[in-house]
Amino acid sequence: MNILIVEDEARIASFVERGLKAEGFAVTIASDGTSGYALACQDEVDLVILDLMLPGLSGEEVLQRLRARRPDVPVIVLTARDAVEDRVRNLNAGADDYLTKPFSFAELLARVHARLRSRDQASSTELVVGGLRLDLRTRNARLDGREVVLTSREFALLETFMRHPGQVLSQVQLMDRVWGYDFDPGSNVVEVYVGYLRRKLGKGTIDTVRGAGYRLSANAAAL
């Protein structure tokens, strides 16, 4: 697997590069947005780790252009910007994950593996997380071998969670990906449908992350 690091802080780029190479990844580093974007457009790049504050093109500009050129390549934003509005804006712009500095390499590595798994699953007709299975062709859902009857919205919501295992998804992201229209702050439709899924799959299946959104529980693997 080939990973591109777009980071202008040489110390951080070198630290991440050493860790990823020790895990068997091939790594390329770009120290500015312009060269980073050019490299990210190459088909051999499997995942991009992207800083936001870059010389040349900003990280946000790189993300926007890359999503138009290569919509399926996973992008993990790695930045010192920790404001909620920055996180929401970049996730809505197409980032697959968002990690703030300072960070643990172990956490970054876990997110890299998760994003690569999600990419591989996207090309499959079946999603599997623990005891949960979704057949995307037949629209059939099973939990530990038992069929679970889901409405089209419930299926789409569960599919979204299963494509992003362990990732916190905001209400804005879920509304956009499942309902396909702009988020209404006064609507509780996401909360309602998460409740539907919990009743059908078990209360421990989907976690509420206060102030951030929802995620498929780590306990899902033990269902």
Bridge partners (DSSP) of residue 48 are 4, 75
Give the domain range for residue 197: 124-222
pLDDT digits (tens, 9 = 90+) for 104-123: 999 999 999 988 877 665 55
Per-chain mean pLDDT for the chain? 87
pLDDT at res. 46: 92
Which of residues 120, 146, 173 is at a domain's end? 120
Could you tell me if 130 and 217 lie in one domain?
yes
What tokens appear for 66 in the block? 């890359």
Could you tell me if 7 and 116 lie in one domain?
yes
CATH code, domain with 201: 1.10.10.10
Report the number of distinct structural domains present in the chain.
2
What tokens appear for 20 in the block? 């990823």
163: pLDDT strictly greater than 70:
yes
Which of residues 120, 148, 172 is at a domain's end? 120
Average pLDDT of 195-208? 91
Average pLDDT of 182-196? 79
Could you tell me if 20 and 107 lie in one domain?
yes
Could you tell me if 148 and 115 lie in one domain?
no
219: pLDDT strictly greater than 70:
no
Among 170, 178, 171, 158, CA closest to 220? 158
Could you tell me if 13 and 108 lie in one domain?
yes
pTM score, whole prediction: 0.57
Inter-CA distances, 24 with 3, 4, 12, 27, 109, Å: 11, 14, 19, 9, 12
